[in-house]
Amino acid sequence: MKELKLWTVGSISRDDIKTRDDERKDVLGGSVPYSAMAASFFVKTGAVGVVGTDFPASFERRWQNFNVDTSGIRRMEGRTFRWGCVYSDNMIDRKTLFTELGVFANFKPTIPASFREAPFVLLGNIQPELQLAVLDQARNAEFVLVDTMDYWIKNKPAELRKVIKRATMLTLNDTEARMFVGQWSLLECAASLIQMGPKYVLIKKGEHGAMLFTEDDIFIVPAYPVRRVVDPTGAGDAYAGAFMGYLAHSGDVKDRNIHNALLHASVVASFGVEEFGPERFSRLTLFDIKSRVADLKHMMKV
């Protein structure tokens, strides 16, 4: 059996989402579905998470259409994590309407033996203690991407620093970077974050793209322009998943290839926001991705 190169851990949820144009209830959500599906366009991806006994069979069947190993997903007695939000008209700001942790509250992830030798690890946005616990189970992690959010920055800064120290790349948005470091300049923020341990810091700026920082270089990654954003939920998770999937497939972690991986990540995320939840990925092909990457490279010519 071919060895797994990448696995991701995080949340799996049932979401209720309201945008300026539409509203959907009980949408497959969470960081794991978005990141694992996005990564699977490039490489077989292991998924680690937990669902309740109420998790719909239709959601389970959706996994089967992707190159995802779900042996790391546990089913526990109880309700699946549920989350609801409403987006403002700018499709950036949102208000959380409810959060029901369900079985996710007692989630203690165990990494399957077949995952543990994988060189690429994506730690989705969960408690820093859980991120550390699963990282301790990895035996051959060479490139570790850590995602986080404002809640952990506010409430678990010491624990988060321990995770960041072991990361190859840290990804967070511009507001979170400024909050964590206490500086306004993103250059100063990135420099401070790099001193915490990671070689790369990716600061996301939504529709304005992202900035990748190393100790002595900056790479600006544009967002692929989308005509109509239907649902921005999970865009960051899809971005991270596609990035890691591309890297794992190529096995090349040199800067030039990392830049190319980020372009593919931008494109995959752009497809994801065109429909609710991860629905758009069901009809997405690698040819579609490559075509849009070529378009993006053409737009970047100077």
Please tell us whether the domain made up of 6-299 is placed in CATH 3.40.50.2300: no
Q: What is the pLDDT of residue 198?
A: 98
69 forms bridges with which residues in the sheet? 46
Q: Which two tokens stand for residue 67?
A: 């190159």
Q: Give me the average pLDDT of each 10-residue run along the chain (302 residues).
A: 88 95 94 97 97 94 91 96 94 91 93 96 94 94 94 93 97 94 96 98 93 96 94 95 98 95 98 95 96 96 84
- Strands of 176-300, DSSP E: 200-204, 210-213, 218-221
Rounded CA-CA distance 82/64 in Å is: 22
- pTM for the whole thing? 0.96
Q: Which two tokens stand for residue 275?
A: 């429909």
Q: What is the pLDDT of residue 2?
A: 65
145 forms bridges with which residues in the sheet? 122, 169
